[in-house]
Structure 1
Amino acid sequence: MRLVVFTGRGGVGKTTTAAATAAHAASRGVKTLVMSADPAPALADQLGLSLGPQPSEVGAGLFASQMDPHRLAQRFWESARRPALDALDDLGVDPLAAEDLADLPGLDDLLALLAVREETRDGPWDLVVVDCAPSAAAFRLLATPGRLGRLLARLLPMERRLDRLSARGMAGDPLVDAVDRFAGELAGLRSMLTDGSTSVRLVMTPEASALTQTRRLFTALTMSGFPVDAVVVNRIFPTGPPASSMDLLMDQPMGWQNTWRRSQEAVLADIVSSFEPVPVLRMTYAPAEPQGLEQLADLGLELYGNQPGPVRPGPLPPRVERTDTGFSLSLAMPLARRETLDLGRRGDDLVVTADGYRQVLPLPGVLRRCRVENATLREGTLAVAFVPDPAQFPSRWM
């Protein structure tokens, strides 16, 4: 089972690309579900159909759904209601209703991921395509399980959970049970998103500003461990007969298109060199907005040919190596720029920020007893040098 997440800045055609990918795969006999995690009903408009939160068949082998945060809250609240209420009562917190949960900032991201995981784990699909929200919101969505997991560990660490069990002398503490269940769900979500069968595809237009933003998102996704297996460039002007010099001077339609075409060709060259070896797929500017399954399947054929799409290994996880003076932690950060990087230490975590996107890395045990000496960025890899802290390392280890 494959999970493919599409994102890009607003207005670049990510919904069209996600729908075209799903329609193309279904036309090749791949049982496919396309889900919209974007609050705007763009997927329903693209398909020309009315969609609900439950998958409905929209074509041969193709199913679609539109996530609804309030309905998702009601569904998942029923199974978690009793232990959650017991835990909240134990903490002296007023009870919550499903409607309250759906309105909590950021919880709609978690609910959307739970719905995706449910379909990938229990559904009959060969391929699940997710039409995500625009860039920054998509990164927040994908990073939610890791961030909540770290927050949960800080609010109620394992030591406190064990202390509560010991103090009560019972194995059924509702708060501990709720925390453990929630931690398990977060771990499952993180595993789903970083699994080898999951990938992210970035959609953009051949414009310098779109390239700049997509490069930033690519760096952020890679440093956070999310594999990007393709970049889709949409709305490329088709080739045509050259305009005469008089057309260019008079700004006639053909001259206007040729001016745009030359600009796009220059940006396309930058796109290919920026993301290499990630495949760059191209879609030409259609004469009209694609509507319906037939047109979307044709668009998918233009993108992928006879294959459902590329699959590329994900980024290497952070690795720790021994050095002459201590240790080195290496983190893949392709396209990152030194002037936009910020590095900090917070307790047992290393906080890396690139172009406003932040990643918190829990440090391995050996590095927690070290201090950061320096950091270098070279050829898309951030190397952080650690030296042992004499106050925490036995002298025989120094």
Structure 2
Amino acid sequence: MAALTAVRTLLVTGAGGAGRTCVAAATAAAAARSGTRTLLLTGAAGAALDPLLPPAGTEGPAVSAAGLPQPYGVDGFDSLYVARIDPAASFRAGALDLQGRIGSLLAMLGAAPLDPEELTALPGADALAMLRALREAAGADAVWDLVVVDLPPVAEAVRLLALPEQLRRYLRRLLPEDRQAARALRPVLAQLAGVPMPAEWAYEAASRADHELDAVQAVIEDPGTAVAVVLTPGATAPATLRTARTGLALHGHRLAAVAANRVLPTGSADPFLAGLSADQQDALKQLADQCATDGVPLYELPHLGRAPQAGLGDGPAVPVAPPEPAAPGPHPPSAPWTVTDRLAADGWFVWTLPLPGATREGLDLVRRGDELVLDAGGFRRIVPLPSALRRCTVAGAALRDGALAVRFTPDPEVWPR
């Protein structure tokens, strides 16, 4: 795993249409006003942030790698920069870089290189562009104190954050380490054949990809990285928060804050507004109960009474520093992914996997070799078993108080006597 960074990263997700971009922008602006050198990283397309970005072709004050978003300073803020991700440019830069690295192989195969003009972004380019930008913005060479990332809605955001780990697993399966020794013979074979060996390019490309994914994963899993979920209190908000809690916990992400956006004032004389406010208060109580269970703060951001104006600072913000956990709720979750040795007393080990918000109906687990395939809340994660549990069999599992406890008993055929 790559080295940890000193950059704080706040990942902002939530329900579609809940005002994630506006809250992320206001949060970044609030941090910059306090003197924190802040980057707002967004993939949002539309007019909300257009006033913050200079006209096309204008040079910005900072320089980034090819294909990654150019950070631009924001007028009126000494410490605030904004970068909008361009998936097409990122994909084009990555494809051209790969094409340059395997030029000899393409020539051997008689393939004509692609021109930049004929490269168009493929499905999934948005996610890869966001990950590349996050790697650069919050990586070891970052110049920012805080990076606020405007992520897609909850389900898409959870899958995006899980992508580096998943892709690295695929690479290990396709090119396992036990085949690396055969690479020592490839230079000899290349000299005999007179051309580069294609398999060597595959190994080099896989190694480079693994290194880049490792850097992204290090940012995502860094203790200074936290997630804020933005919701508009309403009938669907509690279910969305449960989904977010389960998906984020399944992949080991820290939920630091929940923001209830566009909260209406209570006590209105207008019957219609009074009814809407009452519905919001019911939803807020359910959100507060979930937050209290996890020990996560809930921030109520008031409705502006109008549509937010384009730009920054026209809206409430959430605290930018990943906050300390609030007082633990009635059922505080166990330390994540812990193995408890109860072999002497009960004859088994217990692997505790915190899954707040999960239900038995949406939960499934399968032992596959030395891995556990876990489905929860519509999300899936495949995790390697701790070494001691690889010599055990699954004896049962129970979901209680927001945590999945999986029991393992030693396998007599492989357990040391």
Fold equivalence (TM over 0.5): yes
- Whole-Å separation in 2 of the counterparts to 1:278 and 1:91: 57
Q: TM-score, normalised by structure 1?
A: 0.85
Q: Assess, with a 3 A threshold, how the Cα gap between structure 1 residues 5 and 294 changes in structure 2: closer, same or farther.
A: closer
Residue in structure 1 matching 2:411, options 363, 367, 389: 389
8 Å Cα contact 1:34-1:129 kept in structure 2: yes
Question: Is 1:328 aligned to 2:350, yes or no?
Answer: yes
SS at match of 2:316: helix
Distance change >3 Å, CA 123–CA 42, structure 1 → 2: farther
Matched with 2:30 is 24
In the aligned structure 2, how far is the partner of 1:267 from the partner of 1:188? 39
1:26-175 correspondence to structure 2 within 5 Å: 26-38=32-44, 40-41=45-46, 43-45=48-50, 53-59=69-75, 60=77, 61-84=79-102, 103-121=121-139, 122-166=141-185, 173-175=200-202
1:121-167 Cα offsets, whole Å, 9 max, x none, are: 23421111111111221112101101101111111111122223356
The 8 Å contact of residues 46 and 290 in structure 1, kept in 2 or not, is answered as: no
Q: Count matched residues.
A: 377
C-alpha distance after superposition, 1:351-387 (max 9, x if no partner): 1111211121121233223221111111111111112
Out of 207, 231, 235, the residue aligned to residue 258 of structure 2 is 231
Q: Give matches, 1:272-291, under 5 Å.
A: 272-276=288-292, 277-291=295-309
Q: Which residue of 1 aligns with 2:21?
A: 15
Q: Counterparts in 2 of 1:197-346, with a 5 A limit?
A: 197-241=224-268, 243=269, 254-276=270-292, 277-293=295-311, 295-296=313-314, 299-300=316-317, 303-304=318-319, 308-312=320-324, 316-324=335-343, 325-346=347-368
After superposition, what is the alpha-carbon deviation per residue over 1:82-134, rounded to whole angstroms, capped at 9, x for unaligned? Answer: 44556789999997777888634334312321111112223421111111111
TM-score (norm 2): 0.81
Distance of 1:91 and 1:125 partners within structure 2: 44
The offset of 1:70, in angstroms, is: 1.6
C-alpha separation in 1, matches of 2:186 and 2:257:
53
Please identify, of 16-25 and 174-183, the stretch whose mean Cα deviation from structure 2 is larger. 174-183
Compare the two structures and name the one with the higher helix fraction: 1
Q: 1:226 to 1:155 in 2, by over 3 A?
A: same
Structure 2, unpaired ranges of 5+: 1-6, 58-68, 191-195, 326-332
**1:263 to partner: Cα distance:** 1.6
Q: For the residues of structure 2 that align with 1:34 and 1:283, how far apart are their CA atoms?
A: 20
Tell me the CA shift for residue 321 of structure 1.
2.4
Asked if 1:368 is matched to 2:390, the reply is yes
Is residue 48–residue 291 contact of structure 1 (8 Å, CA) maintained in 2? no
Which stretch of structure 1 is more off in the superposition, 377-386 or 323-332? 323-332
Alpha-carbon RMSD across the aligned residues, in angstroms, is 3.1
CA contact (8 A) 2:88 2:125 kept: no
CA contact (8 A) 1:318 1:331 kept: yes
Equivalent position to 1:181, from 208, 213, 218: 208
- Specify every segment of 5 or more residues in structure 1 that has no aligned partner in the other structure, as ranges: 244-253
Cα 1:170–1:380 change in 2 (3 A) is farther
Give distance in 1, aligned partners of 2:379 and 2:306. Answer: 36
Matched residue, 2:60: none
Paired residues of 2:161 and 2:220 also in contact (CA < 8 A): yes
Q: Distance in 2 between matches of 1:98 and 1:126?
A: 35
Q: CA 1:87–1:14 in structure 2 vs 1: closer, same or farther (change >3 Å)?
A: farther
Do the aligned partners of 1:90 and 1:175 also contact (CA within 8 Å) in 2?
no
8 A Cα contact 2:13 2:229, kept in partner: yes
Q: What percentage of aligned pairs have identical amino acids?
A: 38
- SS of structure 2 residue aligned to 1:232: strand
CA deviations on 1:312-370 (whole Å, 9 max, x unpaired) are: 46994412222222322111111211222111122322111112111211212332232
